[in-house]
Amino acid sequence: MKDYDLKADVEAQFSAVWRKVLSESNATPQSKPQGILLGGQPGAGKSYGTKEIKKRLHNNVLVINGDEFRAFHKYYDKIYQKYGESASEHTAKFAGEMVGKVRDKAIQERLNIVIEGTFRTVETPLKEIDNFKKNGYEPSIVVCTCPKSISWESTIKRAEAQIDANLQPRYVPKEHHDLVVDKLADNAQLIFDSGAVASFEIYSRTAKLFDSGVDKNKSIKDIINNELNSLSLDKSEQLEVKKLLTSKLEKEAILKPVEPISIKKLIDNENVVSHKIAKIKKIKR
């Protein structure tokens, strides 16, 4: 690996990568193509955002995800065997170069594009937006996020699922995940405030949280931070909590039977009280 030539490897693998991304879409040339940047922390559920975009564009869009290109690295197997969970650090340059080459080809073909990223920095998204504009694209932003504890757990489960499928797992370093979590809200707000895009959306794993075309005077930063720091339970935990609450409410609802009001009993009680008062007065005399 000492004599490894990054540029040559990217050139050699490009055709295979291009065929792969084309096979996963119905992308066709457009007169006014769209360039969509999809950001969010690792494990946030960006696949949900991708599905929404594909649905909107009837799958007429090319999705560029650098993580999926790592396996095309000439020495990917050796890198994984040597570095294990930190292998992603040693394939990052290859993945980045391949993303750029695929993007340039897609722009040349006038295809709708989604580029997946993390928004770890502000500079990279703004640079991509500027590139889209220079090439006649309509740029927009989609951010996907979720509670940070859930996204981290999801990266672990994804790696475990890949192992079960006899695939080399794509591990995410904890420090990288946490760095993106720390930067995401601030960077998204800065990009929004720049006015570089007309459309800006935020999604959780299940719903749209923000749409710049509809929502006004809302803080991007607050929306993302609220989602990142919110508590989240898995389905089994939700069911357990529901059972406990239902049981408690049922117990609270069980009241002792109340006897019907009896006029006779009220009169009798009044007579008893009057008799006791008269007796007390007699004693005092």
CA distances (Å), origin 111, targets 30, 124, 130, 271: 6, 21, 17, 95
Using DSSP's 3-state secondary structure scheme, residue 78 falls into helix
Is 164 a residue of the active site? no
In the sheet with 34-39, reading across from the earlier edge strand, the strands are 62-64, 113-116, 34-39, 138-144, 199-203, 208-211
Burial class (CB in 10 A: 0-12, 13-18, 19+), 252: exposed
Q: What are the CA-CA distances from residue 211 to residues 113, 140, 141, 220 (Å)?
A: 20, 11, 10, 10
Q: Which of 67, 178, 182, 215 is catalytic?
A: 67
* Structure tokens belonging to residue 160: 């475990």
Distance (Å, whole) CA 219 – CA 213: 14
- DSSP element (H, E) containing 34: strand 34-39
- Cβ atoms of 110 and 29 within 8 Å: the answer is yes
The SS3 assignment for 210 reads strand
Give the strand pairing for 199-203 and 208-211: antiparallel
Strand partners for 199: 140
Catalytic residues: 67
